Amino acid sequence: MHAQPVSFVRPRSSVQSGLPAIIGHRVELQLLTTLQCNLKCSYCSISEGDVLGSQGKVEYDIETLHRFVETHLAAKDVYVTFYGGEPTLNRAFMETVMWRYPHFRFQLQTNGTLLDDLRCCGVWTTFLSRSTVASRSPMGTAGVASTVR
């Protein structure tokens, strides 16, 4: 008995069929901002395995992101989720994306400890007034997250 290979790549024929690469009107674009964090939570996967010690700054070419947006996300309702490590540690990248795409909706997955640092900045005042901010927790409750930090 021979094992059959599993392919996670879409066959070329379906790509050329004229179907859009992203189907649907609403799209969530998750952007990793950094692997760094200001906490050392015991449950966090950032501190495990090959990721341990690799915490550095994630660098995106904003023009490459723009080409992706223009090619695949035109006329879509786009929700951008910034995450990391602690995404607010790469505030410059997030601000660049927010200024470039003011029509997108933004979400922030954060431990919440650095939110006070964001209130002083113009783009953040706008962002925080119309956005979703989610505090990460291992089992869905803030209380559990606080006890394991």
pLDDT interval class at 68 (50, 70, 90): very high
Nearest of 97, 95, 92 to residue 73 by alpha carbon: 97
- Euclidean distance between CA atoms 103 and 105, whole angstroms: 7
| Residue written as token pair 């995404």 | 87
Asked if residue 8 has pLDDT above 50, the reply is no
Asked if residue 24 has pLDDT above 70, the reply is yes
Q: Quick one: pLDDT at residue 66?
A: 94
pTM for this entry: 0.69
**What is the end-to-end Cα distance of the chain in Å, rounded?**
49
CA atoms within 13 A on the CB side of 23: 4
Domain ranges of the chain: 23-148
Average pLDDT, the chain: 73
pLDDT tens digits, 73-130? 988 999 999 988 888 888 888 889 998 998 998 888 888 888 877 766 666 666 666 5
Gyration radius (Cα) of the chain, Å: 18
